Structure 1
Amino acid sequence: MKIKVVFVCTYIMLIYWLSLHVSFLDTLFFPTIGAFSFLFVSRSFRYAELGKITLGAVISSAIGTLLYSVYPSPVSLFVNVLITIWLITKFKWNAPPIVAVSLIPFFSHSSHHWIIPASVCAALLGLMLVLFAAERAERGWGNVTAVWLGSKRVPETEKLDAASR
């Protein structure tokens, strides 16, 4: 898990840097990416479930952007939160940061509001890719440390075969 945390923190730093230095990527970094990162690192999700959560975040940010574009007011914020909580409950997304992502248009000062759902999608897909790379690195580093310590690492398939006997 330590490798995943380092990978994720590096990723968050990179997208923050990009959002500061590339003007049209100003919405790429959003504080909730930290909450999603912790959620994804701290639980053992299948990638299909991570994909559902990512889809939910993109949909909720699109709904928030639409409602903000139609009528930017406390009433549209209220309706946005109601719809988002209903969607989370209905589709069992099990990720409270989705509500926070739906609020981005209401506090973002970007002139590119319609890029918010694309930014959420890109940032979360990037996070999933980083987690995938971290898992691969963990497996690789496990083999490297086993060699350094002089022990033989048993492949997972051999463990499964031994367990089934």
Structure 2
Amino acid sequence: MNVKTLIICLYVMMIYWLSLHISFLDTLFFPTLGAFSFLFISRHFTMRELSKVLLGAVITSIIGTVLVSVYSSAITLFINVAIAIWLIKKFKWNAPPIAAIALIPFFSHSPHKWAIPISVLAALLGLMGVLYVAGLAERRFGQRLELLAGSRETAGERDIAS
């Protein structure tokens, strides 16, 4: 497991813990955070692309929150998904988890629906910050960790050979 993956897993765990233990942060964790984490570490994004994805996620969470506040039904869910998919295609937000973000207001049982877009913004900004720090750590310590792992494998291979 590389440094970035480990740090991202710790970040998602921390967000989950915070959302369970601090009542007003109950909307901070959403399962799509894991999908965004994997997406961000599996592909290279420029800061501009990451910003567009962040903007798209916040916009679709606002739209979903407004629609569920106006009238929570299967019809508004349908409209919400159609708008989210249209926006993703129109603005070329190359991140399918944005469509899932639009659904959060429909399954969130929080009495603070207005906090959903704020939570999405905070969690994804935090994810971007953690990714930045993880990238720095990987560049600084990655070579040392690879050398250490390589020396362990070499020692293990020697044990098997003897």
For Structure 1 versus Structure 2, the TM-score category normalised by the shorter chain is 0.7 to 0.9
How far is 1:142 from its partner? 3.6
How far is 1:146 from its partner? 8.6
Change (3 A) 1:142 1:105: closer
Which segments of 5 or more consecutive residues in structure 2 lack a partner in the other structure? 149-162
Task: Give the whole-Å Cα distance in 2 for the aligned partners of 1:54 and 1:89.
Answer: 15
Question: Are 1:25 and 2:25 matched, yes or no?
Answer: yes
SS at match of 1:113: coil
Task: Give the whole-Å Cα distance in 1 for the aligned partners of 2:145 and 2:110.
Answer: 46
Task: Give the whole-Å Cα distance in 2 for the aligned partners of 1:49 and 1:56.
Answer: 10
Task: Give the whole-Å Cα distance in 2 for the aligned partners of 1:88 and 1:145.
Answer: 39
Task: Give the whole-Å Cα distance in 1 for the aligned partners of 2:49 and 2:145.
Answer: 31
Deviation string, structure 1 residues 66-86 (Cα, Å, up to 9, x no partner):
000001001100000111101
Deviation string, structure 1 residues 36-86 (Cα, Å, up to 9, x no partner):
000001001112211110110000000000000001001100000111101
How far is 1:143 from its partner? 5.5
Task: Give the whole-Å Cα distance in 2 for the aligned partners of 1:59 and 1:44.
Answer: 23
Matched with 1:78 is 78
May I ask how many residue pairs the two structures share in their alignment?
A: 149
How far is 1:116 from its partner? 0.1
Give the structure-2-normalised TM-score. 0.87
Matched with 1:60 is 60
CA contact (8 A) 2:3 2:142 kept: no
Matched with 1:96 is 96
Question: Are 1:16 and 2:16 matched, yes or no?
Answer: yes
C-alpha RMSD of matched pairs (Å): 1.7
Q: Residue type of the partner of 1:87?
A: L
Give the structure-1-normalised TM-score. 0.86
Task: Give the whole-Å Cα distance in 2 for the aligned partners of 1:145 and 1:123.
Answer: 28
Change (3 A) 1:138 1:71: same
How far is 1:144 from its partner? 4.2
Q: Residue type of the partner of 1:68?
A: V
Task: Give the whole-Å Cα distance in 1 for the aligned partners of 2:105 and 2:144.
Answer: 46
Matched with 2:109 is 109
Structure 1: which 4+ aligned runs deviate by more than 2 Å?
142-148
Task: Give the whole-Å Cα distance in 1 for the aligned partners of 2:146 and 2:113.
Answer: 50
Matched with 1:139 is 139
Matched with 1:118 is 118
